[in-house]
Amino acid sequence: MTAYVAEPVYLNGQFLPLAAAGVSPLDRGFLYGDGVYEVIPVYSRQPFRIDEHLARLQATLAGIRLANPLTVDAWKSVIFRLIADAPWDDQSIYLQVTRGADDKRDHAFPPASVTPTAFAFAGPLVTPSAAVRAAGVAAITVADQRWARCDLKVISLLANVLARQQAVEQGCAEALLIRDGFMKEGAASNIFVVKDGRLLAPPKTQLMLPGITYDVIVDLAQVHGQPLEIREIAETELRAADEVWMTSSTKEVLAITTLDGAPVGNGKPGPLGERMWQWYQDFKNTVMRKG
Ligand code: PDD
């Protein structure tokens, strides 16, 4: 096992040491990025929103016209076995399905005899530390150069990779993707904006990943009577925001306090973001850590 990958890992029906989990170099995930993935957070050895994550996996598979190689129950038994065998209480489960390995290279789908490759492993869940949350993080804006089906959680992530790398090279934690004058999301997170006490979130279109955390935040806003508008957010509104947050399964709710070198609001994490983080923890503790 490495510091990031527990053993055994799951590959095509077997639980194996990482070094024994081999995939053909002709796998279409390797040749074409032809596959899908999920990241599921686990708290106190309980997967968070597992049904929603498996439903999104199914929706993405349908979107790329690939049959799910496992039933929901079969995925759950894989996930629970990985969780049980991993050394950490809080984990991040990674699932990936590709269109498998043919005996040649051809863009069109392989024959039905080629079976998908299914891979899964458990890693440690590392959420932002209290110090990082207290300071917030810096972000940049970049042009959204992704394809037109960003609602699918596919492994072809080159535009996201380049955007995130640009952020990292500028000492930032995230890149916010701007398309046609509107902010869609982050390279690997959804983005919320606060203005004059109202929470704004971009709508779920084909140009944004429908985040599982996004849904939790929207539910929590509604439960707690927090004014919420789901609508497109112009780049100009992003720059005039009182608060900007990134949300994801691994970052939870994290304030962005600097954008392209300028302070967001007063440059400190705002009160609404702190409240939402607390609502998120309370919700998690109620549903996950019942004991
Ligand atoms: N990324 N948007 C993009 C482009 C993402 O890659 C992610 C998650 C999200 C947030 O989705 P969720 O709340 O379901 O985690 C939004 C994962 C964590 C990743 O790629 O590692």
The tokens of 116 are what?
Answer: 């998908």
Please give the residue range of the domain that contains residue 116. 9-124
Rounded Cα gap, residues 197 and 200, in angstroms: 10
pLDDT of residue 291: 46
Q: Per-residue pLDDT tens for 211-258?
A: 999 999 999 999 999 999 999 999 999 999 999 999 999 999 999 999
Closest atom of ligand 1 to 94 CA is: 21
Among 248, 253, 254, 284, the mutation site with the greatest number of ligand 1 atoms within 8 A of its Cβ is 248
67 pLDDT higher than 80: yes
Q: Among residues 124, 155, 170, which one ends one of the domains?
A: 124
Q: Are residues 148 and 266 in the same domain?
A: yes
Q: Are residues 116 and 242 in the same domain?
A: no
Q: Is residue 29 part of a domain?
A: yes
Q: Per-residue pLDDT tens for 125-146?
A: 999 999 999 999 999 999 999 9
Q: What does pTM read for this prediction?
A: 0.97
CATH number at residue 149: 3.20.10.10
- Rounded to a whole number of angstroms, the distance between the first and last alpha carbons of the chain is 28
105: CA distance to ligand 1 center in Å?
30
> Which residues make Cβ contacts (< 8 Å) with residue 27, sequence separation at least 6?
98, 100, 101, 117
Q: Among residues 98, 124, 150, which one ends one of the domains?
A: 124
Report CA-CA distances (Å) from 78 to 12, 84, 93, 95, 152: 11, 10, 10, 10, 23
CATH number at residue 48: 3.30.470.10
- CB of 128 within 8 A of CB of 254? yes
Q: Is residue 245 part of a domain?
A: yes
Q: Are residues 52 and 161 in the same domain?
A: no
Which residues, judged by CB distance below 6 Å to any ligand atom, belong to the binding site of ligand 1? 39, 160, 185, 188-190, 209, 211-214, 247-250
Q: Are residues 272 and 177 in the same domain?
A: yes
Q: Are residues 86 and 134 in the same domain?
A: no
Nearest CA to ligand 1 atom 3: 188
Nearest CA to ligand 1 atom 6: 188
Structurally, how many domains does the chain consist of?
Answer: 2
Rounded Cα gap, residues 51 and 55, in angstroms: 6
Q: Per-residue pLDDT tens for 151-205?
A: 999 999 999 999 999 999 999 999 999 999 999 999 999 999 999 999 999 999 9
Active site residues: 153
Q: Are residues 30 and 53 in the same domain?
A: yes
pLDDT of residue 2: 84
290 pLDDT higher than 60: no
Among 91, 164, 207, 249, the mutation site with the greatest number of ligand 1 atoms within 8 A of its Cβ is 249
- Please give the backbone phi and psi of residue 116, each rounded to the nearest 5 degrees, phi first: -65, 155
Report CA-CA distances (Å) from 211 to 32, 56, 77, 105, 288: 24, 9, 23, 33, 19
